Amino acid sequence: MKTLRLIVLSILVSVTGYLTGQPTEAAAVDNVSFMTLWNTYSNCQATTNLDQLSKNASTLTAAANHSLDQETFVLPLPSKLEKLVSTPAARFAVDVKAMAAACSLRAASAAVEAGKIDAAKGILQTILGYQPHSEYAYYTLQAKTLLSELEMNPIEITLNLP
């Protein structure tokens, strides 16, 4: 009985190694999508156009949310072994969520400079969604600070009477 278990386990390990060692079309797609995201992030850092910044921030945020929600890893295992295997994290070479947060901060600052306070608040709210994760504490702190400054500084209206 032990020999049979050892043989089955050996076959499973061999098949797993074979499946994970084969280059797939998905890897090429991931590289292309990563390069697209990197270009979007680079554009975000270079541009001063508020519309382009907002578009870049929303593209990166959508990609970050998609990569975190995607559960495509399937390894056919018996149910007893399946409990012992964890799903690998979907990660790129860099943290797409951090890229999205940095771009969003830049877009929010540009919105404030353009006087579009409501747009800035909306952009900053997306960053506050990262709050439970400690690796994004820098970005959430920056967003909270900017939001509190926006709340504390009322818009000044002057009336010029003849």
> In angstroms, rounded to a whole number, what is the distance separating the alpha carbons of residues 148 and 57?
21
- Report the chain's mean pLDDT, rounded to a whole number: 76
Residue 70, pLDDT above cutoff 50? no
- Cβ-count burial of 44 within 10 angstroms (0-12 exposed, 13-18 middle, 19+ buried)? buried
Structure tokens at 92: 């790129």
Q: Residue 15's closest CA among 78, 71, 83?
A: 78
**What confidence score (pLDDT) does residue 132 get?**
75
Predicted confidence band of residue 3 (pLDDT cuts 50, 70, 90): confident
The model's pLDDT over 95-152, given as tens digits with 9 standing for 90+, comes to 888 999 999 999 999 999 999 999 999 999 999 888 777 888 999 999 999 999 988 7
Q: Name the DSSP class of 153.
A: S
The model carries a pTM of 0.62
Write the burial class of residue 48 (CB in 10 Å: 0-12 exposed, 13-18 middle, 19+ buried).
exposed
CA distance 18 to 94: 27
In whole angstroms, what is the distance from residue 97 CA to residue 133 CA?
11
Closest CA to 107 of 128, 92, 127: 127
Q: Do 155 and 120 contact (CB within 8 A), yes or no? A: no
